[in-house]
Amino acid sequence: MNVLRSELAAGDTKRVYQAIRGPVFFEATLNTRFDEMPRYLISFDDGSMDHISNDDLPAVGESAHAVAREAKAAGVWIFGGGVHRQQASIVSPDGTITGGPVPEKKAVIGGFSIVEVASREEALAWAGKFAEACRCAQEVREIMFDPES
């Protein structure tokens, strides 16, 4: 048991789970979230960065990447990226495919980040960093926990 404690202290939860529950239990639970730390979607609307000149875009991109690297280093980064402008398709329940939303009629996401943090306040702090880096407002929404995901 002392070996398990030292492995747990070293962060080797994989070996601890295998030792306690066996390899079958471990494989079945490998992709299961045991914690319920909330995840947040931080996003901005398509067009929110249109005020940035083409000359400034590389610097803005690097600033946003720096915040993403900081989030990765802090262990809160899940996924994120930009979304191509108006290249969406809508697939209806019957399988019919139509063109995506028209910009004049509906706001669409231009870019997003998903972070896993302890509180809404922490998500808002990360959104503030992205807002400063991207030079545009960020929307923050909690993602509902789904035990199947």
Average pLDDT over residues 76-92: 87
pLDDT tens readout for residues 88-125:
788 899 999 988 765 555 678 899 999 999 999 999 99
What is the chain's length?
149
CA-based radius of gyration for the chain: 20
Confidence band (pLDDT; 50, 70, 90) for 26? very low
Torsional sign, CA 130, 113, 78, 9: positive
pLDDT at 61: 95
pTM for this model (two decimals)? 0.70
Q: Rounded to the nearest 5 degrees, what angle is found at the Cα of 55, between the Cα atoms of 51 and 49?
A: 25
The domains found in the chain, sorted by start residue, are: 1-32 (no CATH), 35-143 (3.30.70.1060)
pLDDT at 95: 93
pLDDT tens readout for residues 129-148:
999 999 999 999 999 988 88
The whole-chain average pLDDT of the chain stands at 82
List all residues 6 or more positions away from 97 whose beta carbon is below 8 Å from its beta carbon: 89, 90, 91
